[in-house]
Amino acid sequence: MYTFFKILSSAAIIGIVTEVARRFPTYGGIIAALPLVSILSIIWLTVQSEPSEHIQRFTVGVIVGLPATMCMLFVIYMAMKSSMHIVLAIGLGVLSWAVFLSIQKAIAGVFHISM
């Protein structure tokens, strides 16, 4: 039952955000930048009685992923600004995300920081 409700509520949020973005692109982007997925995930983990330590590790994972996500979005923006096709722009963005995350993980390893 939780799974169905999670899917339904998540789909509704995505639908609402894309409708706002169609009418008001800047506001849609601001709303999309809200950590809705992270907040929903924390709520669902709490409802499913996950231990606090597990939720804290999840939150750290979100923080670790933020720089790579910002890099991805910047690459997509620049690619689209250069009139690149959306599929190629997203592909380059995802590739940049993976490369950035790998570099970030390698740097963390040099300094003995666990990720």
pLDDT digits (tens, 9 = 90+) for 74-92: 999 999 999 999 999 999 9
Quote the CA–CA distance of 87 and 93 in Å, as a whole number: 10
Quote the CA–CA distance of 94 and 70 in Å, as a whole number: 11
The H or E element spanning position 35 is none
What percent of the chain lies above the pLDDT cut of 90? 52
CA 36 distance to own-chain centroid: 9
pLDDT tier, 100 (very low <50, low <70, confident <90, very high otherwise): very high
pLDDT for 114 equals: 75
pLDDT for 102 equals: 93
Quote the CA–CA distance of 88 and 24 in Å, as a whole number: 25
pLDDT digits (tens, 9 = 90+) for 3-40: 888 889 888 988 999 999 999 999 888 888 878 888 88
Quote the CA–CA distance of 96 and 39 in Å, as a whole number: 25
pLDDT digits (tens, 9 = 90+) for 32-75: 887 888 888 898 899 889 999 999 999 988 888 899 999 999 99
Buried b (16+ CB within 10 A) or exposed e, 30-53: ebbeeeeebeebbebbeeeeeeee
Cβ(31)–Cβ(20) below 8 Å:
yes
